[in-house]
Structure 1
Amino acid sequence: MTSYKHILFAALVAGLVGVSSGVRAGGYHSSGYSGGDYDFARVVDVAPVYTDVQVRTPRTQCWDEQVAYPGRANPAGTLLGGLIGAAVGNQLDHRSRGRKARTVAGAAVGAAIGHSVSSQRHSRYVTEQRCRTVDEFTTRRELVGYDVRYDYNGRQYLTRTERHPGDRIRVRVDVSPAW
């Protein structure tokens, strides 16, 4: 009975080898890789796949702006205003006893008015350029890959590739016995 088992085992191995070589002869191209062989499938459809990418670009934005710079008070205006105020205060009433008080008050008021007038006249306006950095966003379409539909042995499959495959795509075929 032992020899009968050996003969049966040898016949089974020979049968599997025959089926395996028949499958290889049926059109599969051997790659030398023990995990499967390679063949080519007919490409049915190719669709490019895109994604939208936002791109930030910093940009300088400038404009002209009117700027006022106050001038220095002209001491001559203050002095002149004080003298005029003193003269007016002195002339108001020669006969009254508060003549000195009016002269001092007139000088103070005249000096304040002279200072204010001379400061306003010397304010200067300058046009200056102001700038700031602003971000500008644009959208750019970027190719991600290709959705490829292909036909192999009457069945259709779908995959995504990085490059356009052309009219055929290489597929790996792995045949194993179903027990």
Structure 2
Amino acid sequence: MNKLCYFALTSTLLWSAATQAHGRHEYGRVTDVVPVYSQVPVRQASSHCTPVYREQRDSTTPAIVGAIVGGALGHAVGNNKTNKRIGLVAGAALGGSVGHDMSKRDHYYEDCRTRHNSVHYRQVLDGYQVTYKYRGRYYQTFTEQHPGRTIPLVVSARPAYRY
């Protein structure tokens, strides 16, 4: 038996058991269906970025740090006393120059801010207000799905008076 047939048979048996326990199963004829909507607020945000330039102040610290690092690297590369001294001097000069050049650069970044500009409303379907006719009388109910031409009813009997 395929899954669809199994599902249909199981659903029918469960519905049958429920109606036997709580009443009999009948149908009302749907006469009117009105969709019911609610308004949901939706905030619209926008992001605005502004470029910001910041000048670097004159400082000798980057040149000094560059010279120290460059000198240490140049000294480490040399293999004898003379080469180590030449490497130290060349590395210090090159590192100091690089540090000085980097300190003169202007720094650029963006300042971004998010603004909630407006609120608009979107309609969301909540369900349906259904009017149906059963045994000559009209009734109303609310359903989440569109019922179609008929609506299933569970009809049960109970005593009019309680003793």
Report which of the two structures shows the higher radius of gyration computed on alpha carbons: 1
Question: Under a length normalisation based on structure 2, what TM-score does the superposition of the two structures give?
Answer: 0.48
